[in-house]
C-alpha cells in the first residue's frame, strides 16, 4: 500500500486533542473521516505528536496508507475538500517509503508558546494566546529557561497522568523572544513528557513577572517533585510548529 506523509495545520479550540476519543471530537477523527470519503478501509493514521485539548498545530505530521496510488497534490486537495468545515487543513503531502513512521522516525519536535502582554481581554486572538496582564522581563525568563536545557530528570514538569516510561529527557533549546506585545517561548527536543512545555512556560512566566528568581527554576528542576512546578500555562498559546526527520519528506 502506498504510504503518504501529511503536514497538518489545525485550530485546537474545537477539538479534545489529536487522538481519537469516544464521544469527543478529535483532529485524528476529522482526518480519518476525510480519508474514508476517498477510500474504504483506510487504516488508522499515526501522528508525530498527540497534542492536548485546545493545543494548535501549524506543522503536525501524520502518515497514512492508501490502496490507490494518489498524486500527493490531488490527495491534499481531496482531503481539504472533505475536511470542511473543520478548522483543519492539509498544507502538504508527500509519498514516502513504507518504513517511514510519523512518530517513530521523528528526530525533533518543535513547539512555540505564545503569550500576549496586555490588560485588555483578547478579541481576535482569543483562544490563540495566553493573555498575561503585566509586562514580562524576557532577559530574566531566558536565564531561568537556560536551566531547562540538556538531559535532566523532568519529574517536576511532568503531568501526573504522563505515561512515559522515564522522566528523563534531553531538551535541545528553550528560547524566549519578544515581538511587539507577544512573548514567545520556543522549545526543541526529540520528544516530550505530557504537559512538559506548558509546565516550562508557566514556570518561567513567573520569573518574567518577578514572582520567581531565575535560580528558582533550577531549584524546581532539581526538586524532582510535581509540587515544585509553577502554574501550568493554558493550552491556548501552544503550537506544534514542526517535526524533524533524517530526510525531510516534504522537500
pLDDT for the residue numbered 146: 98
Per-residue pLDDT tens digits for 107-142: 999 999 999 999 999 999 999 999 999 999 999 999
Residue 52 falls in the annotated catalytic set: yes
Q: Strand ranges (DSSP E) for the chain?
A: 3-10, 46-47, 56-65, 88-96, 108-117, 130-132, 150-153, 168-179, 182-189, 238-244
Per-residue pLDDT tens digits for 201-249: 999 999 999 999 999 999 999 999 999 999 999 999 999 999 999 999 9
Q: Mean per-residue pLDDT for 188-198?
A: 97
Give the Cα separation of 135 and 121 in Å (integer): 15
* Rounded percentage of the chain residues whose pLDDT exceeds 90: 95
Residue 42 has pLDDT above 90, yes or no: no
pLDDT for the residue numbered 157: 97
Give the Cα separation of 182 and 35 in Å (integer): 37
Which cell goes with 156?
A: 517536576
Tell me the C-alpha to C-alpha distance, in Å, between residue 249 and each of 43, 68, 121, 138.
Answer: 20, 19, 40, 35
pTM score, two decimals? 0.95
Q: Mean per-residue pLDDT for 28-41?
A: 96
Catalytic residue, chosen from 23, 52, 153, 248, is 52
Beta bridge partners of 247: none
Q: Which residue has the higher pLDDT, 63 or 23?
A: 63
Confidence of residue 1 (pLDDT cuts 50, 70, 90): confident
- Judge contact between 130 and 116, C-beta under 8 A: yes
Q: Mean per-residue pLDDT for 167-185?
A: 97
- Judge contact between 56 and 128, C-beta under 8 A: yes
Give the Cα separation of 183 and 133 in Å (integer): 12
Angle at 120 (CA atoms; ends 119, 124), nearest 5 degrees = 130
Whose cell is 521523528? That residue is 106
- Judge contact between 55 and 47, C-beta under 8 A: no
* Rounded percentage of the chain residues whose pLDDT exceeds 70: 100
- Domains within the chain, CATH numbers bracketed: 3-105 (3.30.70.580), 108-242 (3.30.70.660)
Residue 24 DSSP code: B
How many CB atoms within 10 Å of residue 77? Answer: 12
Q: Mean per-residue pLDDT for 8-36?
A: 95
Amino acid at each position: 500500500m502506498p504510504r503518504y506523509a501529511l503536514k497538518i495545520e489545525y485550530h485546537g479550540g474545537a477539538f479534545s486533542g489529536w487522538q481519537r476519543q469516544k464521544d469527543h471530537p478529535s483532529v485524528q477523527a476529522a482526518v480519518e473521516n476525510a480519508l474514508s470519503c476517498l477510500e474504504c478501509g483506510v487504516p488508522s493514521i499515526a501522528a508525530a505528536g498527540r497534542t492536548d485539548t485546545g493545543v494548535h498545530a501549524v506543522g503536525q505530521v501524520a502518515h497514512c496508507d492508501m490502496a490507490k496510488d494518489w498524486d500527493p497534490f490531488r490527495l491534499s486537495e481531496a482531503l481539504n475538500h472533505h475536511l470542511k468545515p473543520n478548522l483543519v487543513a492539509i498544507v502538504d503531502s508527500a509519498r514516502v517509503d513504507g518504513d517511514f513512521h510519523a512518530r517513530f522516525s521523528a528526530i525533533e519536535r518543535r513547539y512555540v508558546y505564545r503569550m500576549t502582554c496586555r490588560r485588555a481581554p483578547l478579541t481576535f486572538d482569543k483562544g490563540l494566546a495566553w493573555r498575561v496582564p503585566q509586562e514580562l522581563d524576557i532577559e530574566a525568563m531566558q536565564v531561568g529557561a537556560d536551566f531547562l536545557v540538556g538531559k535532566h530528570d523532568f519529574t517536576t514538569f511532568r503531568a501526573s497522568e504522563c505515561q512515559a516510561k522515564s522522566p528523563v529527557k534531553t531538551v535541545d533549546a528553550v528560547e524566549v523572544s519578544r515581538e511587539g506585545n507577544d512573548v514567545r517561548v520556543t522549545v526543541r527536543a526529540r520528544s516530550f513528557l505530557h504537559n512538559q512545555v506548558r509546565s516550562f512556560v508557566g514556570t518561567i512566566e513567573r520569573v518574567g513577572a518577578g514572582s520567581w528568581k531565575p535560580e528558582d527554576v533550577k531549584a524546581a528542576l532539581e526538586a524532582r517533585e510535581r509540587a515544585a512546578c509553577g502554574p501550568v500555562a493554558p493550552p491556548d498559546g501552544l503550537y506544534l510548529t514542526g517535526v524533524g526527520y533524517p530526510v525531510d519528506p516534504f522537500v
